[in-house]
Amino acid sequence: QQQVKQSPQSLIVQKGGISIINCAYENTAFDYFPWYQQFPGKGPALLIAIRPDVSEKKEGRFTISFNKSAKQFSLHIMDSQPGDSATYFCAASGIKAAGNKLTFGGGTRVLVKP
Amino acid sequence: NAGVMQNPRHLVRRRGQEARLRCSPMKGHSHVYWYRQLPEEGLKFMVYLQKENIIDESGMPKERFSAEFPKEGPSILRIQQVVRGDSAAYFCASSPTNYGYTFGSGTRLTVV
């Protein structure tokens, strides 16, 4: 019940295109859903996060869409740039679900072609 | 304000040796978490500590692995008698509260 499933595993998009990554969770006690960006040899960096009381959150070119009834959330990267090429991880946590530890998806490797 | 500092960045150990990984949290952060990342996989939770206390070690293997976060000094993740399967990137994160982690750059452990 602690799983977070992420798809696709990899994604190639042209510069200026939209990258879409999807995640699904099982545990309804999760109440915090962050997305992390990781470059090779670096640690994950928090990109954007959402709580279940809102259905969408936008920060610059990054948007999280959240569907509480379907237990799904997604990351949209608008106007994708070569510098966005990285691995993206969705995650979930919640005090009642799992203390405050994060459960990560398997990651999506995004390549933005110039 | 420096970020989460982990050292060493790379560590090579022979099978059977001990690996000691260090993590200095951000200033003012009293919550420390350790995660392990196998190649091409997501991060898996290992242990959550506050100063001098282990709060949650449900992700830690029962044998050979231990963690501490003393009153003074960095948090230490210790792996005794390493095996090839311990080869991974180990990330530490810190937080001032229950949410909002900041990750370090990790220690890449290679067991030969």
HEC-encoded secondary structure of A7-71: ECCEEEEECCCCEEEEEEECCCCCCEEEEEEECCCCCCEEEEEECCCCCEEEECCEEEEEECCCC
Lowest-confidence range among A19-23, A41-45, A92-96?
A92-96
Q: Is B11 left (phi over 0), alpha (psi -120 to 50) or beta?
A: beta
- pLDDT for res B14: 97
Lowest-confidence range among A29-33, A82-86, B18-22, B85-89?
A29-33
Separation in Å, CA of A24 to nearest CA in chain B: 15
Spatial separation of the C-alpha atoms in residues A82 and A86, rounded to whole Å: 9
For B:42-101, CB contacts with A below 8 A are 42-45, 48, 55-56, 58-59, 91, 93, 95, 98-101
DSSP-derived letter for residue B26 is: P
Q: How many percent of chain B have pLDDT more than 90?
A: 75
The mean pLDDT of A26-30, rounded to a whole number, is 88
For residue B39, name the pLDDT band (cuts at 50, 70, 90).
confident
Separation in Å, CA of B100 to nearest CA in chain A: 8
| Average pLDDT in chain B | 92
pLDDT above 90 for A56 = yes
Q: Which residues of B touch A46 (CB under 8 A)?
A: 100-102
pLDDT above 80 for B64 = yes
B2 in contact with A, Cβ within 8 Å: no
Quick one: tokens of A87? Answer: 């691995």
The partner residues of A97 in beta bridges, in order of sequence, read none
The mean pLDDT of B56-68, rounded to a whole number, is 94
For residue A101, name the pLDDT band (cuts at 50, 70, 90).
confident
pLDDT above 60 for B90 = yes
